Amino acid sequence: MSSEKLQKVLARAGVGSRRELERWIADGRVRVDGQKATLGDRVEPGARIHVDGRLVNTASLEAPARRVIAYHKPTGELVTRSDPEGRRTVFTRLPRVKGARWIAIGRLDINTAGLLLVTTDGELANRLMHPRHEIARDYAVRVYGRVDEATRQRLTQGVDLEDGRAAFDALAPLDTDRAANEWYRVRLREGRNRLVRRLWESQGLQVSRLMRVQYGPIEMPAGLREGQFDELDTPRINALLEAVGLDPEPTRPRPARRPRRR
């Protein structure tokens, strides 16, 4: 488990509000492992923390276990907590989580299906979405119309869009659906809005179906149906942590897979 800001840990332990605790730290009322604390200090689990000479209960200092879920988002669902029009959101299908909340790692628009990762760890979510980590996203795309070699080269070498130049990092044909449609697997390392669709449209081609199949090292779990979720085990969580430079976590019992749809 990584270190956390001292005032955050103490607030979770019920000592006071973060604002109050920042004042107490500045006033010299808090000591960590026998040393006077200063603003900005971070503490590791197991640290001995005293406030006004009294030892804080260390059993309450550890953050809730990090959780990550792979959700198979159907088309028609929104990646938002609520919708003024009353449309279904992905959060209505997720399990309840005590002492935390689910955070979506990136977004899929209403017409895009496939793999959506959600987590209780805000730092992990932010790092996975931040452009500096260049986390790959893979999509299966059904395109209406024939795609020649020149078009493929343009899409991988770069085309000019209204918000700048963009290209697929990889583009490979998949099985043909029917005479008028072709399937491709494409990869991007940025999350600009509707970028997959806009790249194909720049070539005069229409995307008739779009599905995310992989995010970073995590692929869509085999057999996971639309509207179902699969809680990731420790090795898969650690693969995500490694991808963004966070410390691995100890092995925990394997969570249940593919619960029934809610």
CA 206 to mean position of chain CA atoms: 28
Per-domain boundaries in the chain = 4-60, 68-243
- The CATH superfamily label for domain 4-60 reads RNA-binding S4 domain (3.10.290.10)
Give pLDDT tens digits for 195-239. Answer: 999 999 999 999 999 999 999 999 999 999 999 999 999 999 999
- Which amino acid appears at position 234 of this protein? T
Active site residues per annotation: 109
137 vs 129: CA distance, rounded Å: 11
pLDDT attached to residue 38: 94
Which DSSP state fits 132?
G
Give pLDDT tens digits for 2-55. Answer: 678 888 788 767 677 778 889 999 999 999 999 999 998 998 878 899 999 999
Q: How confident is the model at residue 262 (pLDDT cuts 50, 70, 90)?
A: very low
Fold of 68-243: Pseudouridine synthase (3.30.2350)
16 vs 152: CA distance, rounded Å: 59
**Residues 4 and 63 sit within 8 Å (Cβ to Cβ):** yes
Reduce the DSSP state of residue 187 to 3 states and report it: strand
Q: Is the pLDDT of residue 253 over 80?
A: no
The token pair at 255 is: 């969570």
